[in-house]
Amino acid sequence: SQQGEEDPQALSIQEGENATMNCSYKTSINNLQWYRQNSGRGLVHLILIRSNEREKHSGRLRVTLDTSKKSSSLLITASRAADTASYFCATATNQAGTALIFGKGTTLSVSS
Amino acid sequence: EPEVTQTPSHQVTQMGQEVILRCVPISNHLYFYWYRQILGQKVEFLVSFYNNEISEKSEIFDDQFSVERPDGSNFTLKIRSTKLEDSAMYFCASIGFRLGDEQFFGPGTRLTVL
């Protein structure tokens, strides 16, 4: 079983539309983090949501967390071509150590 | 803004050779990590390091791998005898004062083993 699985695997939208990506996980978590990765580049931290939080906002990003369903969603509003990238969720468990467990990611393509 | 840096950005080596990947975490951060990402796959945890010792490691981190913090700023990952399947992007990350806070990642080192 995999921790932190995103869906869809790929998403294509037009500029100005909203993009929603979902992440499911299997074990208890301390927090869940979303990252962006442009092709062949590093990981850029977007937002962290703790297990006792339900929603967080950062600019055009909105993240929700439902611990009862073990799921999270990332919403990017009014998307831009520059948002084209892969998006990963990563969970930090409640166990000792805080290694992040990443999902396979959603590849977002925003066309102008 | 402080950032994690990694060198080199790209390393090409022959199978069986030793490589050392270098990272400079954010100053005053206390927890350090190495991850890798094989092309087209997800990011995988290798090892975490705190207080000058390994705090956690994955199954990937076998005897061929070692980490070191030789001074107050550098954090290195050594692969003793590289294999073809070690080809990947290697990311260093660090966390500040509290466990559970954001992990800041470096830009990565692309390792190619021929």
Which residue has better confidence, B92 or A42?
B92
Contact with chain A for residue B96, Cβ under 8 A: no
| Distance from C-alpha of B36 to C-alpha of B92, rounded to nearest angstrom | 9
Contact with chain B for residue A90, Cβ under 8 A: yes
For chain A, how far is it from start to end, CA to CA, in angstroms? 38
Summarised one tens digit per residue, pLDDT across range B15-52 is 999 999 999 998 888 889 999 999 988 899 999 998 88
- Hey, are the CB atoms on B44 and A102 less than 8 Å from each other? yes
Residue B111 phi, psi (nearest 5) = -100, 125
Q: Look at residue A94 in the predicted model and tell me its pLDDT.
A: 65
Chain B residues inside the 8 Å CB shell of A92: 100
Summarised one tens digit per residue, pLDDT across range B43-96 is 999 999 988 899 999 999 999 999 999 887 899 999 999 999 999 999 999 987
- DSSP secondary structure letters along B92-107: EEEE-SSTTSPPEE--
Interface test with B, best of A39, A63, A98, A104 (most B CBs within 10 A): A98
